[in-house]
Homo-oligomer: A and B are copies of this chain.
Amino acid sequence: MGGLELSEKGLSISTVERETGLLKDTLRVWEKRYGFPTPGRDENGERVYGRDQVDKLLLIKRLIDRGARPSKVVGLSMEELLERTGSRADEAANPPELTEALKLVKTHNVVGLRNRLDSSLLHQGLERFLQDTVAPLNLMVGEAWMRGEFEVFEEHLYTESVQALLRSTVASVSRPSGSPRVLLTTLPGEQHILGMLMAECMLWIHGAACIALGPQTPAGEIARAADAQRADVVGLSFSPAYPAHTAVDTLVALRAMLPPGIAMWAGGSNPALFRRRIDGVLPVRELAAIPDAVASWRANRSGT
């Protein structure tokens, strides 16, 4: 019943869908329109993708998430794709501490990485640690991955290390208290939670109470949870890979379900959030905007 798997020979279209996030329909239509990917066929007439094609698809997807047009990038050679990665000379502009941290990831030195992060956190304090260390490191890891300098598992290792650190920091907050009460989650299909964790830290620093629902809560459930938890704000996080119109549509729908007294904040590096205003939804472009959001919420509240 379908479900071939990644043997050494090749991957089924389902597997490629899961690993790249590109729908089966999209894979098939790209093949027809742009001549890529070019899977083989098994004895059964079903598509079989090679590992190299999947790697290329992942790279293409990142370029598209960044704003490239499919017709321009699907079907390019690997070299041409790597050229478009950009971020050429500016890597030298990064502080040496960050470059060194990256080197620790590259050498799979988890312990060393964790030590360095711990020490940065202690030295800088949480807020500056988030803004000056974690945020730029995230970017650098993403860029390095695009340039083919990082394996997927190395990215996992990095993400997991940072998350563990932030989580244990957040856990040290005994109980949620303060205001506003912010319900934090992501929509179904959005699995990136690092941004949400960073937001949770920032909110906590600035005296807000966070109720973390974990990732992937359907909109209807978010509305019920906001009611049950008497939340003042619903905070949602969107990675660049999250489909733009789904994000906007769901935000609009959720806005209609929530009482007007509950604010909505949408953050993350997804461009859809900042292209056009969504009525009743506050876009939070970066971590540094969180304190402002909190402050203006309090001003509004005390004004009423």
Q: A residues within 8 Å of B by Cβ?
A: 1, 3-8, 14-15, 18-19, 51, 108, 110-111, 114, 151-154, 156-157, 159-160, 163-164, 167-168, 170-172, 175-176, 185, 188-189, 191, 211-222, 224-225, 228-229, 243, 245-246, 249-250, 252-253, 256-257
Q: How far is the CA of A159 from the CA of B216 in the complex (A)?
A: 13
Instruction: Please pick, from B4, B156, B220, the residue contacting A249 in the complex, using a CB distance under 8 A.
Output: B4
Q: Which residues of B contact A164 (CB under 8 A)?
A: 167, 170-171, 212
Q: How far is the CA of A96 from the CA of B212 in the complex (A)?
A: 27
Assess whether B243 is in contact with A3, with CB atoms less than 8 Å apart: yes
Measured CB to CB, the closest approach of chain B to A118, in angstroms, equals 10
Q: A152-B218, A221-B153 are in contact. Are A246 and B3 (CB under 8 A)?
A: yes
Q: A156-B214, A160-B214 are in contact. Are A246 and B167 (CB under 8 A)?
A: no
Measured CB to CB, the closest approach of chain B to A43, in angstroms, equals 16
Measured CB to CB, the closest approach of chain B to A9, in angstroms, equals 9
Assess whether B160 is in contact with A212, with CB atoms less than 8 Å apart: yes
Q: Which residues of B contact A171 (CB under 8 A)?
A: 164, 167-168, 171
- State the number of copies, please: 2
Assess whether A175 is in contact with B111, with CB atoms less than 8 Å apart: yes
Measured CB to CB, the closest approach of chain B to A193, in angstroms, equals 10
Measured CB to CB, the closest approach of chain B to A174, in angstroms, equals 9
Q: How far is the CA of A163 from the CA of B167 in the complex (A)?
A: 10
Closest residue of chain B to A216 (Cβ to Cβ) is: B191
Assess whether B217 is in contact with A153, with CB atoms less than 8 Å apart: yes
The majority secondary structure among interface residues of chain A is helix
Q: How far is the CA of A53 from the CA of B151 in the complex (A)?
A: 41
Closest residue of chain B to A8 (Cβ to Cβ) is: B256
Closest residue of chain B to A111 (Cβ to Cβ) is: B175
Instruction: Please pick, from B1, B189, B220, the residue contacting A51 in the complex, using a CB distance under 8 A.
Output: B220
Closest residue of chain B to A243 (Cβ to Cβ) is: B3
Scoring A176, A219, A246 by chain B CB atoms within 10 A of each residue's CB, the highest score goes to A246
Q: How far is the CA of A290 from the CA of B228 in the complex (A)?
A: 38
Measured CB to CB, the closest approach of chain B to A156, in angstroms, equals 5
Q: How far is the CA of A172 from the CA of B220 in the complex (A)?
A: 36
Measured CB to CB, the closest approach of chain B to A70, in angstroms, equals 12
Assess whether B153 is in contact with A228, with CB atoms less than 8 Å apart: yes
Q: How far is the CA of A164 from the CA of B111 in the complex (A)?
A: 22
Known: A167-B171, A168-B172. 8 other contacts (CB 8 A): A3-B246, A3-B249, A7-B253, A108-B228, A153-B221, A156-B214, A167-B168, A168-B168
Assess whether A245 is in contact with B213, with CB atoms less than 8 Å apart: no
Q: Which residues of B contact A151 (CB under 8 A)?
A: 221, 224-225
Q: Which residues of B contact A217 (CB under 8 A)?
A: 152-153, 156
